[in-house]
Amino acid sequence: MKKTFFTLLIIASCSISSSYAQFKTYCEAEEWSKKTGTLIETKIITIGKFTDELETEFDIWVTKCKDIISDSVKSYLTVRRTLYNENKTRAKTDQNSIDADETDRLIESIKYLQTKVFQTSPETDNIKYTFTSRTGIRLSCSWNKNNKSWELTFFIPFETKDKTSKLLQFDMWLEKNLTDFQKLIEQAKEKM
């Protein structure tokens, strides 16, 4: 019995880590900014932050990278999630980035959820909407039939310190958190 349980546990762990192995560590613009043999100018533009009901803090900023030699410019948005412990000191920080083209799709997805999904009350539990970036940032919305409400989940994948695997942190959000996030993403898009 124990052998079967541990075998299933190992299989489950492998399938979870392999599903996130497909995501890139860096967004395309961030990878481009790390290219060798050229001079890259990097500007970081702070957009803002918000805090959810569990006191988790979310910071948003835009990074603009310019190849001085070719005069090419690429931008990306970064979301940093900071957890605090009971002493109000920083306990854990995770971050990940989204390319400019995905920022547009993220904004469209949020607007769709707000205008078309949140006003509905489906008869079933099996409805879910998910936006996933190339780097694995995920915004998910699913119907909870028992509570008769939509549940929002925000995921940020991040690599372990030894870079051997990706882990996934998630936060349950209220509609207010999504609105705060949307405002910051729209401000960030203007700066890109």
pLDDT in tens, 110-150: 999 999 998 888 877 788 999 999 988 889 998 888 888 88
User: Do residues 81 and 171 touch, judged by C-beta distance below 8 A?
Assistant: yes
Predicted pLDDT of residue 148: 83
For residue 155, the domain's CATH number is 3.30.2450
**Structural domain for 162, as ranges:** 24-191
Question: Domain for residue 3, yes or no?
Answer: no
Q: What percentage of the chain's residues is helix, strand, coil (to nearest 5)?
A: 30, 40, 30
Question: Domain for residue 5, yes or no?
Answer: no
Question: Domain for residue 12, yes or no?
Answer: no
pLDDT surpasses 60 at 37: yes
Q: What is the pTM of this model?
A: 0.76
Give, in degrees to the nearest 5, the angle at Cα 142 between 23 and 136: 10
pLDDT bin (cut points 50, 70, 90) of residue 191 is: very high
Using DSSP, state whether 69 is helix, strand or coil: coil
Residue 158 β-bridge partners: 167
**Among 12-26, 34-48, 70-84, 127-141, whose mean pLDDT is lowest?**
12-26
Residue 46's φ and ψ, nearest 5 degrees, are -70, 130
Question: Domain for residue 171, yes or no?
Answer: yes
Distance between CA atoms of 14 and 32, rounded to whole angstroms? 30
User: Do residues 106 and 118 touch, judged by C-beta distance below 8 A?
Assistant: no
Mean pLDDT of 153-170: 65
pLDDT surpasses 70 at 53: yes
Mean pLDDT of 48-52: 87
Q: Pairing relation of β-strands 138-144 and 128-132?
A: antiparallel
Domain count within the chain: 1
Question: Domain for residue 56, yes or no?
Answer: yes
Question: Domain for residue 116, yes or no?
Answer: yes
Residue 131's φ and ψ, nearest 5 degrees, are -105, 130
Please provide the distance, in angstroms rounded to a whole number, between the alpha carbons at the two ends of the chain.
55
Predicted pLDDT of residue 20: 44
User: Do residues 92 and 160 touch, judged by C-beta distance below 8 A?
Assistant: no
Mean pLDDT of 62-91: 87
Question: Domain for residue 169, yes or no?
Answer: yes
Predicted pLDDT of residue 7: 35
Residues making up the chain, counted from first to last? 192
